[in-house]
Chain A
Amino acid sequence: MCCNKLSEGAAAKFAELDAFIDGLGIDRNDERRRGRLIQVLHRAQDIFGYLPREVQIHVAKKLFLSEAQVSGVVSFYNYFTTEPKGKYCIDVCMGTACYVKGSETVLRELERVLGIKADTNPTPDGLFSVNALRCVGACGLAPVMMVNGKVYGKVTPAKAVEIVNEYKKQG
C-alpha cells in the first residue's frame, strides 16, 4: 500500500484501474456486478493508496452503481480508507491474541513517537501513518505489526520504535 497524493500521476492510475475493471467484463444489467465491488475497491486502494471521493465516483460509474452504494461499502470495511496514507503504512494488530500480548502498548508507543493518532492523518512529512487492525491471521507471532504489508512478529514498544527508525533512515 502506498502513499502518493491523488494528483500525482492520476491519469495513469485511473488508466490502470480502468484496465483492471474492463478486464472483469462488467455487465450493466447483471445484478452480480455488485459482487465485484470489493475486489475493485481493493485494487483501487492498491493503486491510489486510498479511496477519495473522486475514485469512488469513478468506480461507481464503471460498475453502474450509485456513488452512495460504493460509499456505503467503503465506509463499512476498516481496511478501506478515504484519507491518504503515509509512505510507510504501519498496521498494528488489535485482534484478541495480539491484544492480550500487549499490542495496545505498541500502538500507543508508535503514536507517541510519531506524534500522530492511529487511524487519522499521516505524519506531516508524509512518511508514516498508523492504523489499528483486527486479526491479521498471524496469532502465533503475536503481537504483530506490519509495515506496508511486511509482517513483524513478537514486537515490543522498543522494537517497534527501532523498526520505525530503520524506515526513517531510508526516507
Chain B
Amino acid sequence: MNTVNLTINGKQVTVPAGSTILDAARQLNIKIPTLCHWDKLGCGVSNKPASCRICVVEVERRRNLAPACATPVMEGMVVHTNSQRALNARRTVLELMLSDHPQKCLTCAKNQDCELRMLAAEFGIEEVAFSGAKNRFEPDTSSEAIMRDLSKCVMCRRCETVCNKVQTVSALTGYGRGFSAKVGTASMIPLADTNCTFCGQCVNVCPVGAITGISYVKKVWAAINDPTKTVIVQTAPAVRVAVGQEFGFEPGVPVTGKLVAGLRALGFDKVFDTNFSADLTIMEEGTEIVERVKSGKNLPILTSCCPGWINFIEHNYPDLLHIPSSCKSPQQMFGAIAKSYYAEKIGVKPADLVVVSIMPCQAKKYEAARPEFSKDGVRDVDYVVTTRELCKMFREAGVNLANLDDDQYDSPLGQSSGAADIFGVTGGVLEAACRSVYYMLNGKNLEGDAINFRAVRGLDGIKEATVQIAPGKSINVAVCSGLGNARKVLDMVRQDPNRFQAIEIMACPGGCINGGGQPFLHGDTALLEKRMKGIYTEDEKKTLRLSHENSDIKALYAEFLGEPGSEKAHHLLHTHYHSK
C-alpha cells in the first residue's frame, strides 16, 4: 500500500495515499470540527460535499485555507489545524451560518443534539456579528411522520445524500440556486405528496433541527391522564438496546427490565411487548412461507414488517406487489389483537383502549395512520413514540432508568421468544421465521447450534445464503437492509424470479437498530455493532427461543384465532398493498 508522510501541528504521521487531511488528523487524535461531513451513511456512501467549510485548515505553501474533509494528503505536507487564520475563518463561517438561522435553540426539538449549537458552544460564540437576509419557510408538517423546517437548514445536504444515494428514494433534491437554494422536494410540494417512504434516515443525519419527527408525546400524556382511558404500551425489539445509552448505560447493552419499569413509572396501565406480536408474525408468516414454498407460487416471499420498505415497494415496484407476505407488521398485529382479543378480555371498548407504540422508527407513525389499520374510526395503534421521544418523556417525568429495578412485562401480550428479539436487526426476521418454518415442516425443532442461522447475521447490506428448512430441503434466501440495497435485490428478482425463495428487507441500513427514531449516532456507526450484539445477547440468554413455543401465543390461537392462517387470523393479522 502506498503511504504518505505529513506533519500536522508539528506531529509526523504516515497515512495511506488517498487519505484526507481529516483522516490523518483523526489518526493523530487531533480534532478538526466538521459539520456537513459524515462517513459511512450506509450502503458504502459518505457525505463529503465540502460545502460547510467548518473544517478549513492552513497548509504551508498553499495560498488558500483547505477543507480538511476533502483535501487529499500529499508527501511532505505541513498542516496547521489551529492557526489563528484557520480559527478566524471557521468562526466567520459559523457566524455567517448563524446569521441565517432562527437561533431559537431553547424551543428547538433538536436542542441537546444539535451539532450547530455544539459548534457554537465549542467556538465560544457569544454574539453573532452579522445580521443580514434570512431565508424564511413555513415548516412542512404535511405527513404523519416527518417534519421539515428549512429555516433551520444549514445546507449540509446529508439528508439529500442519504435519500438519493443510500436509500435511492430520491424524494429530496437541491432546489433553486444561490442564497435561496434549499434542500427541497419536487416542485417544493408537501412531503406527504412525494414518494418519501418516511424511513427517517434524513432525520437521523440532520445536524440541526431542520428535519425532525412529528411528535405525539403531548397526546400520549393526555391519554395517560384521562381517567376514562385504559392506556397500554408496546415496545419494539430495537428500543431496548438503544434506550440505555441516553441514561449512561454502555451503548448497545439491553436494558429491557428497566425500560418496562420506566414505562410503568410514566403511568401506562399495562406494559406489553411488540416482541409478543413478532412471535405472532412468525406464526402467520411462517405458515405463509410453508404454503408458498410447497405450492411454488408467488415466490420469493418478501418480509413485510418494515413500513418504510413497504412504502418503497408500493412506490417503485408495482409489478411485484403480489410477493410481499400479506402479514401486517408486528406493531399493527399488536394493535389489532389489543383492540379485539385484549379489549374483549378486559371488558373495555376499543375506543377507550389507547394503544401506544414505542418504536425505533418514523415510518411506524405513518403506518399506524394508514386507513386500512382503522376500524369504525378507531385506530389499531393510536400513537407512535420514537425511542428518542420516549427518552424525553422519561426526562420530563424525572424518570432515570439507571435508578430503576428491572421489571417484567405484563400478561397476556408481554411474553416473547428470543426469535422475536432479533427482529430488531437485519437478518433477524428471516432467522426467526426459519426456526419456526423448520418446525412447521418437520414437526420437530432444530437442535443445538442449528437454531443459529449465522449466515444471515451481520451488518452487510446484502447477504445471500442457502438455509436448510427440512432434512434434504434447502431454500435460497437473501437479506438486505438499506433501500438502495433493496432496489438491487428487487432488480435481481425482476431478472430472475427463481433466484431466491425468501427475502428479508429492512429500510434502514443495519435494520431497526439504526431506525429513524433511535438515539443519534452523531456519525459513530460503531454503535450499530454494539446494538446488534445486544440484540443477539437478548436472544441467547432466553430459554424460549422459538416463536411457536410461546405459550401466550398458543393460548391466543386456542382461545381466539384458531389456527395460523385461519379466516379470523387473516381478517385481523393480514393486509394488502397498493401501487402508489
Q: Which residues of A approach B to under 8 Å, CB–CB?
A: 53, 56, 65-72, 75-76, 82
Contacts and interface: CB of A to CB of B under 8 A. Distances in A.
A66 B195 contact: yes
Contacts of A72: 173-175, 184
Interface in B168-193: 169-177, 184-187
Given A56-B186, A68-B194, A75 B176 contact: yes
Contacts of A75: 175-177, 184
B173 A69 contact: yes
Interface residues of B, number: 16
B170 A65 contact: yes
Given A67-B195, A69-B170, A76 B177 contact: yes
Residue with the greatest number of chain A CB neighbours at <10 A, chosen from B172, B173, B177? B173
B170 A66 contact: yes
B485 to A, nearest CB: 16
A78 to B, nearest CB: 8
A73 to B, nearest CB: 8
A101 B105 CA distance: 48
A71 B170 contact: no
Q: Is the interface of A mostly helix, strand, loop or mixed?
A: helix
Given A66-B195, A76-B176, A71 B164 contact: no
Residue with the greatest number of chain B CB neighbours at <10 A, chosen from A56, A67, A70? A67
B135 to A, nearest CB: 15
A53 B171 contact: no
Interface in B72-116: none
A82 B174 contact: no
Interface string B240-274: 00000000000000000000000000000000000
Interface in B388-444: none
B47 to A, nearest CB: 17
B186 A68 contact: yes
A81 B569 CA distance: 54
B186 A67 contact: yes
Contacts of A65: 170
A56 B175 CA distance: 14
Nearest to A77: B177
A53 B170 CA distance: 16
Given A66-B169, A69-B170, A76-B174, 17 more contacts: A53-B186, A53-B187, A66-B173, A66-B186, A68-B171, A68-B184, A68-B195, A69-B164, A71-B173, A71-B175, A71-B185, A75-B175, A75-B176, A75-B184, A76-B175, A76-B177, A82-B187
A66 B171 contact: yes
